Structure 1
Amino acid sequence: MKINTKINLITTIWIICVLVIVNIVVFYSFMTVTVNVEKKVVLQNASAILEDINHGDTDAVIEKKLSKYLTHGSFIRILDDHSKIIHQVTNNKELANKIKARFSRKTISDRYLVHLAQREEQILVVRIPIESNGKVIETLEIGERLVGLELGKDVLLSILIFCTIMGALISLIGGKWLSNIIIRPVSNMIDTMEEIEQSGITKRMVIDQQPKDELQKMAVTFNRMMDRLDINIEKQQQFISDASHELKTPITVIKSYADFLRRRGIQNKEVALDAVEVIHSEATRIQQMTERFLDLANTDLENELEKKSIDLVALCKEIVKQLHSTYKRDLLLHYKEKTITVIADELKLKQVIIILLDNAIKYSSDQIDIYLENQKNGTIIRVKDYGIGIPKEEINNVFERFYRVDKARNRETGGTGLGLSIAKNIMKQHNGEIKVNSTEGVGTEVELFLPKD
C-alpha cells in the first residue's frame, strides 16, 4: 500500500472516530438537558399540587384539584405505602396503564420508552414522597409525555449521521490533498535517485520557495549529500589520476633500465650494477608509495581509534632516539613537565610525529627542535626546523595529496606528497588540529593540537 493511501485512510479513520465520540457526547448531552428541563417543570407542578391538597379533602375534591395540573397525555397518581393507587387522574388511560405504580420514600425520576398504537413515546415519571408527622405515608406520581424528545432525538441523530458522513468525505479529500503535499518531495527524491541510478550522473532536487519544514530540510540534506558525493568522486578521480602519474615515472624508469639490460646484457659489470641500483631504488620508491597509499586509505576510512592514556614525553623520547640513530641528526626535545599525559591512539600519534620529523630531516640540515606544551584546554606538539622553508603562497596547499613544493628536490629525497595528508586525517580523527607556519629560507614550524578530552 502506498504511503499517501495510508495517510489518507489513517486521517479519515481518525476523523471518523473523533466525530463518533463527539456525536455520542452531543447526543447524550441533548437527552440529559431536555429531560432535566422537563423534570424541573414536573417538580414545580408537584410542589404546587402538594400545597394545594389538604388531608381533609374528599376524594372528589382531591381528584378535581389534581385534574387542574394535567397536561396533554399525562397522569397524576397518589399511592399508598403498598404501591396501591388511591387517587388517579389521566387524559390518556392507555399511557397510564403502561406505567406500573411504585411507592418511593425519596424523590426520583425515571424515563420510559412506551410502545403505544402505531408509535413509541418517551415518558418521564417523577415520584415525590408525601410526609405526615415526619413519616412518608404516600407517594405522588406524575407521568408526562416528552412530546418533543422523540422527534428531537430523531432529528438530532439524522443531523449527526449526516455530519459524520460529510466529515468522512471531507477527510478523504483533505487527506488526499495533505498526503500529496507530504509525499511530493519524497516522490521527487525517488525520481531523482532513479535518474541518478540510470544515468550515473548526480542531480539535485529543486527546492520550492516554501516555509522551512522537515520536508524542505530533507531536500536540502539530499542536495548537500549529492554535493559531498560529487566532491568525493572528484577526489577519488584526482587520487587515481595522481597515483597513476606518480607510479608511471618509476615504472617507466624500471622498464627502461630492464630493457637496457636485456639489450646490452650484463657483460659490462659496472653499467649493469648501476642499472640494478636504479631499478632497486625505483622499486623501493614504489613500495614506499604503496605503503603511503594504504596509510592514507586507512585514515580516510576513519576507523575506530584505540585511545588510551599516553605519556607524551616518553613517547617523543623514544621517537627521537630511533630517528637519531637512523639519520645521525640533532633532534632536541624541549618540555617543562616531566610527564605530559594525553588520550590518543599511540600508534597513529607516533605516525604523525614521525611524518613531521621526517619532513624536517629531509628539508633541513641544521638541528630540529621538538616542543611539548601542556595547556589548560589541550596539549601542543611543535616541530621546528631551520631549512628551506615554504613559500607563503604554497602553505595552504601542503595538505593536498601528492602536492610537493619543490618537485625536483622531492625526487631526491624520495617523498610522495602524502605525509601531511595522512597527518591531517589522523589529527581530524582525534578532534585535533594541525597548523603550518613557514618562512622561505628561514624554516618551518608545524604545530599539533590535541584537546584534553
Structure 2
Amino acid sequence: MKITTKINLMTTAWILCVLLAVNAVVFFSFMKITVNMENVELLQKADNVIREMKMADSPLKIKEIFTPYLTNHNFIRTVQSNSKITDQATNDQFLAAKIKPKYVHKKETERRTIRRNDKEEQILIVRVPDSSGAITLEVAEKLSGLELAKDVLLSILAFCTIFGALLALLGGRWLSNLIMRPITNMINTMEDIEQSGIPKKIIIQHETKDELQKMAVTFNRMIGRLETNLEKQRQFISDASHELKTPLTVIKSYADLLLRRGLQNEEVAHDAIESIHSEATRIQKMTERFLDLADTESGDLLEIKLIHLVSFCENIFKQLKSAYKREISLHYQDASISAAADELKLKQAIIILIDNAIKYSTDKIDVYLEGNEQYTIITVKDYGIGISEFEIDNIFERFYRVDKARSRETGGTGLGLAIAKNIMKQHQGEIKVKSTEGVGTEVGLFLPKWKVGKELFLNDQNIND
C-alpha cells in the first residue's frame, strides 16, 4: 500500500472517530437537556394539579380538574397505596393501559419506551405524592416533540458525518500529496541518477522550513559532496595518468632506441638502461605513494602507543642525515615529551615534512618539540624558497607542487602533504603551514593530548600511570 493511501485512510479514519465521538456527545447532551426540560414542565403541571385538588369542594370535581391539563397522548390519575387507580383522565387509552399505576412516597420521574404499531414511542412519567401521603398523582405524556427532534438531529448528524468523511478524504489526499511531493521528487531524482549515473539535486520550489525541506536540503548537500568527490576522483585519475605518462614515455622511447640500434653502442645502451631504471624507480615510488594515500584515506585502525618524541625523532634524523648529508637540528625544552600516536604513520608524516624541507631548501633544517594544554606539536622549519600566500591553500591537494621544475628534478610526486594531512586527520589532529616566500617554511603537526581512538581512550597521564 502506498504511503499516500495510508496517510489518506489514517486521516479519514481519525476524523471519522472524532466526528462520531462529537456526534455522540451532542446527541446524548441534547436528549438529556430536552428530557430535563420536559421533566420540569411535567412536574410543574403535577404540582398545579395537586394544588387544585386540595382546593376542590368534593371528590367528584377531581376528574374535572384533570381534564384541562390533558394534552395529546396524555393521562392524569391518582393512585392509592394499594396501587389502585381512584381517578383518571386520559385522551390515550392505549397509553393509560400500557403504563401500570404505581404508588410512591416521594417524587419520581421515569422515561419509558413503548411500541405502538411497530414504532417506538418515548413516554415521560412523573409521580408526586400529596401532602397527606394517601394518594400519588401520576402524570404521563408522549414525548412527540422529542421523537421528531431526535430524528431530525440524527439526520443532521449523519449528514454532517458523511460530509465530514468526504472532506477528510479530500483533505487527506491533499495532505498526503503535500507531504509526499518532496519525497516523490527525491525518488524521481534517485531514479534519474540510477539511470544516467550523473548526480542531480532536488529542485526546492517553496521554502517550507519543515522536516521535509530539511531532508531535501540534506539530500542536496549529500549530492554536492558526491559531486565534489567524483570531481576529485576524476582529477586524481587525470593527474595520476599525467604523472605516469612522462616516465612511461621515457621508458618507451629508450626501449625503442635499444630495439633500433641494439646493444652495439655500449654508451647509448648504458644511457638508455640507466634512464629506464631511473624512470621505473620513479614509477615504483609513485605507486608506493598512491598506496600510502589510499591507506591513509581508508580509515584503518591506528596502532596507538606512547611515543617518546625526543629519542623517536633523533633516530629518524640519524637515518636522514646519513642519506641526505644535511644538517637537521632538534630543539626541545622537556626531554620527556611524548605523544600517543601510531608510530609508523607518525614517522611517515615527519619524514614527508623533512623530505620537503630538504628538496626546497639548501640551509639547515630545525625541528621543534613543544606542547600546550591541548596539543603536542612537532614543527619542521626550513629556510628555503618558501611558499607564496595564494599557494598555501593548495599545497595539500594531490599532485600540487610549489616549484614544479625542482620537483621534477628531485622526483617529487606532489602526494606527500596530502598523505601527511590524512595521517593527522586519522589521529584527530591538524597540520598547519606558515611560510614567507624567499624566507622559508614552517610546518607543524598538532597531535591532541587526549586521544580518542576507535578502540582506545588515552592521555599522557594515564599512559604514564
Q: Do both share a fold (TM > 0.5)?
A: yes
Stretch of structure 1 that moved more, 194-203 or 48-57: 48-57
When normalised by structure 1's length, the TM-score is 0.84
From 304, 317, 331, give the equivalent of 2:311: 317
3-state SS of 1:123 partner: strand
Q: CA deviation at 1:195?
A: 3.5
Q: What is the aligned partner in structure 2 of residue 32 from structure 1?
A: 32
From 225, 239, 250, give the equivalent of 1:253: 250
3-state SS of 1:43 partner: helix
1:431–1:450 CA contact under 8 A, matched in 2:
yes
User: For each residue in 1:318-359, what CA deviation from the matched residue of structure 2 results, as whole angstroms up to 9, or x when unmatched?
Assistant: 143134224335444444455556565555444333322332
User: For each residue in 1:378-431, what CA deviation from the matched residue of structure 2 results, as whole angstroms up to 9, or x when unmatched?
Assistant: 443322122332233322221111011122322333221011112223334444
Q: Provide the C-alpha distance between the structure 1 equivalents of 2:288 and 2:84, rounded to a whole number of angstroms.
A: 113
Q: Provide the C-alpha distance between the structure 2 equivalents of 1:351 and 1:86, rounded to a whole number of angstroms.
A: 120
Q: Provide the C-alpha distance between the structure 2 equivalents of 1:296 and 1:403, rounded to a whole number of angstroms.
A: 14
2:251–2:276 CA contact under 8 A, matched in 1:
yes
Q: What is the aligned partner in structure 1 of residue 101 from structure 2?
A: 101
1:384–1:443 CA contact under 8 A, matched in 2:
yes
Q: CA deviation at 1:158?
A: 0.9
Q: What is the aligned partner in structure 2 of residue 164 from structure 1?
A: 161
Q: CA deviation at 1:305?
A: 4.4
2:124–2:141 CA contact under 8 A, matched in 1:
yes
1:319–1:354 CA contact under 8 A, matched in 2:
no
Establish whether residue 76 from structure 1 lines up as the match of residue 73 from structure 2: no
Following superposition of structure 1 onto structure 2, how do residues 266-305 of structure 1 map, counting pairs within 5 Å? 275-301=272-298, 303=299, 305=301
Q: Provide the C-alpha distance between the structure 1 equivalents of 2:240 and 2:124, rounded to a whole number of angstroms.
A: 98
State, as a whole percentage, how many aligned pairs show the same letter: 62
When normalised by structure 2's length, the TM-score is 0.82
Q: CA deviation at 1:165?
A: 1.6
1:74–1:144 CA contact under 8 A, matched in 2:
yes
From 149, 152, 160, give the equivalent of 2:149: 152
3-state SS of 2:209 partner: coil
User: For each residue in 1:291-311, what CA deviation from the matched residue of structure 2 results, as whole angstroms up to 9, or x when unmatched?
Assistant: 22123233344x264485x54
Q: Provide the C-alpha distance between the structure 1 equivalents of 2:56 and 2:159, rounded to a whole number of angstroms.
A: 58
3-state SS of 1:208 partner: coil
Q: What is the aligned partner in structure 1 of residue 91 from structure 2?
A: 91
Q: Provide the C-alpha distance between the structure 2 equivalents of 1:346 and 1:397, rounded to a whole number of angstroms.
A: 28
Q: CA deviation at 1:246?
A: 0.8
User: For each residue in 1:254-290, what CA deviation from the matched residue of structure 2 results, as whole angstroms up to 9, or x when unmatched?
Assistant: 3334444455555676765554444333323222211
**Unpaired runs of 5+ in structure 2?**
451-465
Which residue type is aligned with residue 97 of structure 2? N
Following superposition of structure 1 onto structure 2, how do residues 290-439 of structure 1 map, counting pairs within 5 Å? 290-301=287-298, 303=299, 305-306=301-302, 308=304, 310-311=305-306, 314-315=308-309, 317-328=311-322, 329-337=326-334, 347-439=344-436
Q: 1:164 to 1:366 in 2, by over 3 A?
A: same
Q: Provide the C-alpha distance between the structure 2 equivalents of 1:65 and 1:106, rounded to a whole number of angstroms.
A: 22
Root-mean-square deviation over aligned CA pairs: 3.4
Q: CA deviation at 1:360?
A: 2.2
Q: 1:321 to 1:345 in 2, by over 3 A?
A: closer
3-state SS of 1:380 partner: strand
Which residue type is aligned with residue 89 of structure 2? V
Q: CA deviation at 1:155?
A: 0.7
Q: Provide the C-alpha distance between the structure 1 equivalents of 2:343 and 2:62, rounded to a whole number of angstroms.
A: 111
3-state SS of 1:295 partner: helix
Q: 1:38 to 1:253 in 2, by over 3 A?
A: same
2:369–2:377 CA contact under 8 A, matched in 1:
yes
Q: 1:352 to 1:95 in 2, by over 3 A?
A: farther
1:59–1:87 CA contact under 8 A, matched in 2:
no
Q: Provide the C-alpha distance between the structure 2 equivalents of 1:304 and 1:51, rounded to a whole number of angstroms.
A: 103
Q: CA deviation at 1:237?
A: 1.2
Q: What is the aligned partner in structure 1 of residue 110 from structure 2?
A: 110
Establish whether residue 142 from structure 1 lines up as the match of residue 139 from structure 2: yes
Q: Provide the C-alpha distance between the structure 2 equivalents of 1:64 and 1:117, rounded to a whole number of angstroms.
A: 31
